[in-house]
């Protein structure tokens, strides 16, 4: 029976790779519930789960109501992280669910591949001053704000989900890899998102105003 990795809340990507492999092995030998899987991931698993869940939202097309529910889920996760709880909370019914070994193997393979790829493009200790300045709580706030921006019910415009999802994505990588450069990318993504949303809002109101003026002129003609 695989042993549960014992880690602090300072778990890194390498720690999660070992935990994912252990989870897949447990699924093959004795079955695996979702709750047991999160227990194997240990403290700090919220960063990994938020990282993976952000991926579908990075694509440029809007995802409609899915983005609203997903964004609120990110915001809730971010709030728990702000309060210091770095583990994902799940209802007992979901924790007791037992997907098959094929599902666990696929998830483990994808997660390990993603984390290995991230390990190749990040460097622990880079821009250490920024990493310390942002810290765990700052990264948590980035996830919370990014989630709220993902959830905004804008009209259908390109990049409305992908830009705030990048804030979450880079914040999670920065925390997992202790890489201040990833925090910098998260902050830049947040600035770009706010500028983009401001411009979109201005265009919408400008177009609405022009349409109303044209309509009034048409009625008066």
Q: Quick one: angle between helices 45-58 and 65-82, nearest 10? A: 160
- Give me the pLDDT at residue 8, please: 39
* Contact (CB, 8 A) for 126 and 28: no
**C-beta neighbour count of 143 within 10 angstroms:** 30
Q: What is the pLDDT of residue 1?
A: 38
The whole-angstrom separation of Cα 186 and Cα 166 is 7
pLDDT, averaged per 10 consecutive residues of the chain (221 residues), comes to 42 76 75 79 84 89 82 92 86 83 80 86 88 90 94 79 94 91 95 92 77 72 58
Domain boundaries, the chain: 13-220
> What's the CA gap between 50 and 213, in Å, rounded?
45
Cβ-based burial of 146 (10 A; exposed 0-12, middle 13-18, buried ≥19): buried
Residues 183 and 202: their CA atoms lie apart, in Å, by 29
Provide the pLDDT for residue 22: 79
Of 21, 36, 33, 5, residue with least CA distance to 112:
21
Q: Can you give the pLDDT at residue 6?
A: 38
């Amino acid at each position: 029976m695989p042993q549960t990795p014992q880690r602090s809340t300072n778990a890194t990507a390498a720690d999660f790779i070992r935990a994912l492999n252990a989870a897949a092995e447990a699924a093959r030998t004795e079955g695996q519930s979702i709750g047991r899987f999160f227990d194997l991931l240990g403290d700090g698993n919220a960063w990994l789960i938020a990282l993976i869940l952000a991926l579908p939202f990075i694509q440029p097309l809007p995802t409609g109501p899915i983005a609203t529910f997903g964004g609120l889920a990110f915001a809730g996760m971010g709030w728990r992280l702000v309060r210091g709880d770095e583990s994902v909370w799940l209802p007992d019914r979901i924790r007791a669910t037992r997907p098959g070994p094929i599902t666990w193997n696929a998830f483990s393979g994808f997660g390990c591949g993603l984390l290995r790829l991230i390990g190749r493009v990040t460097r622990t200790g880079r821009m250490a001053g920024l990493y310390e300045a942002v810290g765990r709580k700052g990264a948590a706030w980035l996830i919370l704000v990014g989630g709220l921006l993902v959830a905004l019910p804008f009209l259908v415009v390109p990049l409305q989900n992908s830009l705030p999802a990048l804030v979450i994505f880079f914040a999670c990588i920065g925390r997992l890899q202790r890489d201040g450069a990833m925090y910098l990318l998260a902050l830049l993504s947040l600035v770009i998102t706010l500028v983009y949303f401001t411009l979109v809002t201005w265009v919408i109101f400008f177009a609405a105003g022009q349409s109303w003026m044209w309509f009034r002129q048409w009625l008066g003609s």
